[in-house]
Amino acid sequence: MLLRCTARLRELLGESMTEEWPASPGDWYAHVLWVQRRKCLLVTHAGTLFSIFAPNVRVAELRPLARFVAPLIAAQLTAEGFSATTLGPLDPARAAIAKTADRQVLGCMNDLALVCQQAAADAGGLARLDLPALHYRLQRNITSARDYVRPIDLLADRLKRPRR
C-alpha cells in the first residue's frame, strides 16, 4: 500500500521523503483539510477515485498514517458491498508514504474537499454530518478525470460486477 500524501499532510505528520516511487493507479492519495476549523482527512484511490472522508482527526491518530486509513478504506469498501482488499492489500505494516505524483487526482481531491465542506455546512456542522450519506455521494461523484464515470462504477467494472 502506497500512501501519497500532500505536502501539507507530510508536514503535519513530520514525514520527510527520501525515496521516490513511480506513480501507479493503485496508489492512495491523502490530504488534510480543515472543515469548520477542524482537521479532516480525505483519502482517494488514484485509479478509481474511490474516496473516504474522516472528520475531526487528531495528528496523534494519524501516526502511523497507514494504521489509521487502512481500516477506513476496508470499512468503506465493505459498506459498498466489496471485499476489503478489492483495491489491493491494506497491510499497514507494509505501507509506504510518498509525495503526490498525479495532478489530476489532486484536482479531483480539491473538488471532493469542497463537496465535504458543503455537506458539513448543509448538515449544520461536522457533528451533524451524515457520514454514510456523504460517502455514498463521494462514490457517485462524476468527474472528467475518469471519463465521467463514477468511482463506484469503476470499481464494479474492475470486478465485472453489475452496477448499483
pLDDT digits (tens, 9 = 90+) for 22-33: 899 999 999 999
**pLDDT, tens digit, for every residue of 35-69?**
999 999 999 999 999 999 999 999 999 999 999 99
With respect to residue 129, please indicate whether it lies within any of the assigned structural domains: yes
Query: What is the per-residue pLDDT for 161?
Result: 56
- DSSP string of 26-93? T-EEEEEEEETTEEEEEEEETTT--EEEE-S--GGGGSSHHHHHHHHHHHHHHHTTS-TTTTS---GG
Spatial distance between the Cα atoms of 57 and 32, rounded to a whole number of angstroms: 9
Rounded to an integer, the average pLDDT of 10-14 is 92
C-alpha cell at 117: 465542506
Spatial distance between the Cα atoms of 96 and 43, rounded to a whole number of angstroms: 15
With respect to residue 164, please indicate whether it lies within any of the assigned structural domains: no
Angle at alpha carbon of residue 76, lines to 10 and 136, rounded to 5°: 105
Residue 119 reports pLDDT greater than 90? yes
String of b and e for 44-70 (b: at least 16 CB within 10 Å)? bbbbbbbbbbbbeeeeeebeebbebbb
With respect to residue 54, please indicate whether it lies within any of the assigned structural domains: yes
Structural domain boundaries, residue 72: 2-159
With respect to residue 151, please indicate whether it lies within any of the assigned structural domains: yes
CATH number, domain containing residue 139: 3.30.420
Predicted TM-score of the model (pTM)? 0.92
Query: What is the per-residue pLDDT for 18?
Result: 65
Question: What total number of domains does the chain contain?
Answer: 1
